[in-house]
Amino acid sequence: MKPVLFALVLALSGMSYPGIAAPRIMIEKDAVRDDPLEALHPPASMQEIRILSHGATMNGLIYLPGGAGPHPIVLFLHGYPGNERNLDIAQAVRRAGYAALYFDYRGAFGSGGTFTFMHALEDVNAVLAWIRNGKNAAKYRIDASRIAVFGHSFGGWLALTGVAHEAAGVCIATPAAWNPGWVAQRFGAHPQELAEVLAYYQATTNANSGPIRANAYSLIREMHDHAPEWDYDSQASALKDHALLLIAGMADTPDEGVERETQLANEIRAKGGKQVQMVTFEDDESFSAHRLALADAVVQWLRSDCDRSQSGQAK
């Protein structure tokens, strides 16, 4: 065996050999792909949580990074119905040193109560209040002044619409943000789109079981009644001071994809927004072929634009 190779083997094995100085091996860690080398105390963990929203109990979990903290936190908002939970992204941000909280809205996947769009908006507020509760922040070693929200599809709409009026230090990342307000405004001129949305709601809702406990016709009525205010483009002024990461795929429907995300980015910039990043993948609505690239983009954004925004807010 060649001396240099032998020394490398010795270094990795922790052994030494007379006459050969083992080189110092420096391994650069990757937050998305590698576990931390150093032992952190307390160690990383996962805990089940229950959060009350308007008298109903919502099921959730929190991934806690190792170390004493307090740690910044990322709130994950799933889509409709929410089969893609993005827990691989939650694990990636946990490895990067962020707590990650996932929950199911009222009436979704076993959480109590009934699902409606308005209820989901209220549920997001309830979870943000739970994070900011002093006892919870202390118990889970959370820095409640450093919150980011990752909302996928329907969850992206919840983030853009429901979190827009939060303090500017709350960062928002939205992969494939759906826009139900924009969709509902098209129903009159595009009855086929109305029929397709209704059929999807009928296939995914049930009054007594999952995945969504709701009335399909009530969901359509909600969209119709709140269409202008639930078009997330109307939130451009409120969003201009937030650090935003808009992530678009090549959706084959007009309500998601590059066109919708680009329009929102342009409107926010026109209002004076200077913290808007946009990333595009040639992929489906779930970014099925780009999960590591998606995790990379989110972690880098958290450590750059989001961190700078929150540091400025703290000052």
* Pair 62, 165 in one domain: yes
Mean pLDDT of the chain: 88
* Pair 11, 51 in one domain: no
* Pair 23, 51 in one domain: no
What's the pLDDT tens digit per position in 57-100? Answer: 999 999 999 999 999 999 999 999 999 999 999 999 999 999 99
Does any domain span residue 62?
Answer: yes
What pLDDT score was predicted for residue 170? 97
What average pLDDT does range 255-263 have in this prediction? 80
* Pair 23, 135 in one domain: no
* Pair 21, 98 in one domain: no
62 neighbors 74 (Cβ within 8 angstroms) = no
* Pair 242, 166 in one domain: yes
Does any domain span residue 283?
Answer: yes
In this prediction, residue 37 has a pLDDT band, given cuts at 50, 70 and 90, of low
* Pair 11, 52 in one domain: no
* Pair 152, 226 in one domain: yes
* Pair 8, 102 in one domain: no
* Pair 238, 112 in one domain: yes
- Token pair recorded at residue 46: 């996962």
Count the domains in the chain: 2
Does any domain span residue 119?
Answer: yes
- Which residue range forms the structural domain that includes residue 102? 44-314
Distance CA 211, CA 209 (A): 7
* Pair 4, 79 in one domain: no
Q: What is the CATH number of the domain that holds 283?
A: 3.40.50.1820
* Pair 24, 52 in one domain: no
**How wide is the angle at C-alpha 33 spanned by C-alphas 151 and 70, nearest 5°?**
60
